[in-house]
Chains A and B, each alone.
Chain A
Amino acid sequence: MIRVEHLSKAYRRKVVVDDLSFSVEGGEAVALWGPNGAGKTTVIRCLLGLVGYEGLIEVGGVDARTHSKVTRGLIGYVPQELGFYGDLTVAETLALSSDLRGLPRTRIGEVIEAVSLEAEAGKRVSELSGGMRQRLGMAVALLPDPPVLLLDEPTSSLDVTARRRMVSLLDSLRGPERVLVITSHRVEEVGMLVDRVLALEAGHLVHECPPGELAGRLNLESWLHVVLPSEQTVTALAHLAAAGFDAHENGHGVLVGVSPEDKVSALGCLREGDFQIMDFEVWR
C-alpha cells in the first residue's frame, strides 16, 4: 500500500531524512519511532506531498509526487499540531472537510459518534479542549473511510485518560484493508498499537523490528518504581543492591534501574525477600 524508496529531504542545507526506504502492506500498523528531530514528521509531510523530496513515494501504487491529489484522497491525516478554523463548529469543520473531498455529508454524524463528540457537535472549535480537538482531528481523518491513516504523535498532547481512550480508538481502527502509520517517541505506546517499528535516528532507519524488541535493540533502560511500607525501604535497598540492582530511595518506595528484561526479576527479588509490594509502575 505504501512504498518509500531512497527518500531524502533537506531543509536548506540540513538533511532531515536521508536515503530512507520502507514499505507497508495492507492491514499493517507501523510506527515511525524516534526522538525529536529524527525525521518522523518530515516523512509524513513527504507522504502527503506537503514538502518536496528526493526519491520515490507510492501510495496505493500511485506516485505521490506526480499525483499527490490522488494519493491524498487515499489518506486520512491527523497532524501533531492541529490547525482548525476556530470560529467553525465541530459539525461545520467536518462539513468543510467533506465538501473539500467531494463527499456527501451523510457520514458526518457517523464519525462524530465514532470519536464520541456528539455533545460537542455544535460547539466552536475554539471552545474545545486539547483532547476534544485531537478527537476532531481523528474525525476529519476518518471522514472518507480512508485505506491509509497517518497519525503524527496522536497522543502527545493528551492527558492519561484521553490517551487511553485514543489508544483504544486507534486499536479499533485496525482492519485487514487499512494501513496505520503512527509516529511516536513513546516505546510503551508503540508496543500497544503496531505490528512493526521503524526506528529513525537523524533521518536514518536504524532498526526495523517487532515492537517488543525495540527497547532491547535500543538498550533503553527503564526505571521500576516500587511502593513499599516506609519501614521496609532501607532494607529493600540493601537487598536489591546485594542482588546487583541499581536502586535508590524515592518517595514512598524504591526506584530500580532495569533493562527491559529485568523488570520482573527485580520484582521477584523483592518478593523473595518478603517485602510487601504495595504498587509499582515503569518509568522511561
Chain B
Amino acid sequence: MTATVTTPGFSTPRVFELRPVTVIARKVVREASRDRWFWLYCAGFAVLAGAITMTAVPDQNLIGSGGFGRTAASLVALVQLVVPLMALTLGARYLAGERDSGTLVFLLCHPVSRTEVLVGTYVGLAASMFAAVSTGFGAAGLFSALRSAPTDPVLLIRLAALSWLLSLAMLGLGLLISSTVKSASTALGMALFVWLAVVFLGDLGVMGTVVATRLPVGALFATVIINPVEAFRLASVVALDGSLDALGPAGTYAVDRFGDGIATIAVGVMVAWTVISGAVAVLAFRSGDQT
C-alpha cells in the first residue's frame, strides 16, 4: 500500500483540462504570427485572391450567383491548391519542429497531458488558419468592392467557411504526420507528398483506376468524394449554384443519387477527416517516446 504525498499548493489535476489547452493555443497563435512562412502564405493567398477578383470577367451565363460566379469559381480553384498546402505544412512542421528544438520537452515536463498539448496546438493552428483564410477572402471582397464589381457577400462567407473546414481536415493530417516522425524536415517532405496526392495524384489515380478497372459509377463517386479536396470542390460547386454535371459522370451520378444532400455529404467527409485524423494524431502522440 502506498500513501499519497500531500504537498501544500499541489492539487490533483483532471485528466483533461481546458486551461492548458488555451495556454498552448495562445502560444501557437503568437508563434504563427511571428512565422515568416505563415505570413508568406497569407500574403500569397491574399494577393492571388485579389488578383483573381481584379481580373475576372463577370459572366452570369457561366455559373450562378449574379455575375460573381466566375470570380468565386476561380477562388475555389485557388483554395484547392493553396489552403491544403498551407495547412498541411503548418501542421506537419509544428510538433516535429518543437521536437527538433527541444521545446516539446519543455512543454511535456509540465503537468500537462499529451492530449492537452496536441489539442491546444490544433486549436491554435486552426485559429491561425481562420485568420489566413479570412485574409484571403477579405482581400477578394475588398478588391471586388473597389472595382464596383458584382459581389455576393453571403457566398463569399460560405466559401470562406468551406475553405476553413478544408484547412481543419488538412491540419489534422499535418499533425498526424508531425506526431509520428522525428524531424521537421521529414515531416515537411511527407506533407508535400500528401499535398501532391490529394491535389493532383488523386485525380490522376481515379482516372487511371477507372480506365484499368472499369469502376462502376457509384464506386467512382465514392473514390472521388473520399478525397477531402474533392469534397470541398463538390460542396463549393453546390454553394455556387453550379451544375455538378460539369464534374463528369461522378457528378451526374451524385446529382441523381443524392440530390441536394450532396453538399451535406461533402461537408460530412471534411468533418470526418478532421475528427479521424485528429483522433489518430492524439493516439500516435500519446503512445510514442517524446525526447
B291 at the interface (CB under 8 A from A): yes
Contacts of B20 in A (CB 8 A): 100, 102
A100 to B23, CA, bound (A): 7
Per-residue contact bits, chain B 78-121, to A (CB 8 Å; 1 contact, 0 not): 00000000000000000000000111111111111100000000
A140 to B107, CA, bound (A): 11
Nearest residue, chain A, Cβ from B102: A83
A243 at the interface (CB under 8 A from B): no
A154 at the interface (CB under 8 A from B): no
B211 at the interface (CB under 8 A from A): no
Given A61-B4, A69-B113, also A83-B13 (CB < 8 A): no
Per-residue contact bits, chain A 97-131, to B (CB 8 Å; 1 contact, 0 not): 10111100000000000000000000000000000
**Choice from B2, B15, B101 contacting A83 with Cβ under 8 Å:** B101
**Choice from B103, B111, B290 contacting A69 with Cβ under 8 Å:** B111
Given A82-B102, A83-B103, A102-B19, also A51-B289 (CB < 8 A): yes
B27 at the interface (CB under 8 A from A): yes
A18 at the interface (CB under 8 A from B): no
Per-residue contact bits, chain A 37-67, to B (CB 8 Å; 1 contact, 0 not): 0000000010010111000001011100000
Nearest residue, chain B, Cβ from A100: B110
A207 at the interface (CB under 8 A from B): no
Per-residue contact bits, chain A 211-225, to B (CB 8 Å; 1 contact, 0 not): 000000000000000
Smallest distance from the beta carbon of A73 to chain B beta carbons, Å? 4
B5 at the interface (CB under 8 A from A): yes
B3 at the interface (CB under 8 A from A): yes
Given A61-B2, A70-B111, also A79-B102 (CB < 8 A): yes
A140 to B109, CA, bound (A): 10
Smallest distance from the beta carbon of A227 to chain B beta carbons, Å? 42
A87 at the interface (CB under 8 A from B): yes
Smallest distance from the beta carbon of A103 to chain B beta carbons, Å? 8
A30 to B31, CA, bound (A): 39
Interface size on A, residues (CB 8 A): 37
A160 to B105, CA, bound (A): 27
Per-residue contact bits, chain B 6-44, to A (CB 8 Å; 1 contact, 0 not): 010110110100011001100100010010000000000
Smallest distance from the beta carbon of B82 to chain A beta carbons, Å? 26
Contacts of B4 in A (CB 8 A): 60-62
Nearest residue, chain A, Cβ from B14: A69
Q: Is the CB of A50 within 8 A of B290?
A: yes
Contacts of A52 in B (CB 8 A): 287, 289
Q: Is the CB of A79 within 8 A of B110?
A: no
Among B10, B287, B290, chain A packs the most CB atoms within 10 A around the CB of B10
A190 to B216, CA, bound (A): 74
A209 to B101, CA, bound (A): 37
In the complex, which residues 121-159 of chain A have their Cβ closer than 8 Å to any Cβ of chain B? 140, 144-145, 147
Q: Is the CB of B110 within 8 A of A97?
A: yes
A280 to B13, CA, bound (A): 54
Q: Is the CB of B111 within 8 A of A84?
A: no
Contacts of B110 in A (CB 8 A): 72, 97, 100-101
A246 at the interface (CB under 8 A from B): no
Contacts of B102 in A (CB 8 A): 79, 81-84
In the complex, which residues 74-103 of chain A have their Cβ closer than 8 Å to any Cβ of chain B? 74-75, 77, 79, 81-85, 87, 96-97, 99-102
A1 at the interface (CB under 8 A from B): yes
Q: Is the CB of A83 within 8 A of B105?
A: yes
Contacts of A147 in B (CB 8 A): 5, 7
Contacts of A45 in B (CB 8 A): 289, 291
**Choice from A77, A83, A102 contacting B104 with Cβ under 8 Å:** A83
Q: Is the CB of B106 within 8 A of A84?
A: yes
Nearest residue, chain A, Cβ from B2: A61
A73 to B13, CA, bound (A): 9
Contacts of A48 in B (CB 8 A): 108-109
Q: Is the CB of B290 within 8 A of A51?
A: yes
Q: Is the CB of B34 within 8 A of A87?
A: yes
Nearest residue, chain A, Cβ from B113: A69
A-B contact pairs, 27 of them (CB 8 A): A50-B105, A50-B290, A51-B289, A52-B287, A60-B5, A61-B2, A61-B4, A62-B4, A69-B15, A69-B113, A72-B109, A72-B112, A73-B13, A74-B10, A75-B109, A79-B102, A79-B105, A82-B102, A84-B106, A99-B23, A100-B20, A100-B23, A100-B24, A100-B112, A102-B13, A102-B19, A140-B106
If A50-B291, A83-B101, A145-B9 are given as contacts, then 11 extra A-B residue pairs at C-beta distance below 8 Å, sorted by A number, are: A45-B289, A62-B4, A69-B111, A70-B111, A72-B112, A82-B102, A84-B106, A85-B103, A99-B23, A101-B110, A147-B5
Interface residues of A (CB under 8 A from B): 1, 3, 11, 45, 48, 50-52, 58, 60-62, 68-70, 72-75, 77, 79, 81-85, 87, 96-97, 99-102, 140, 144-145, 147
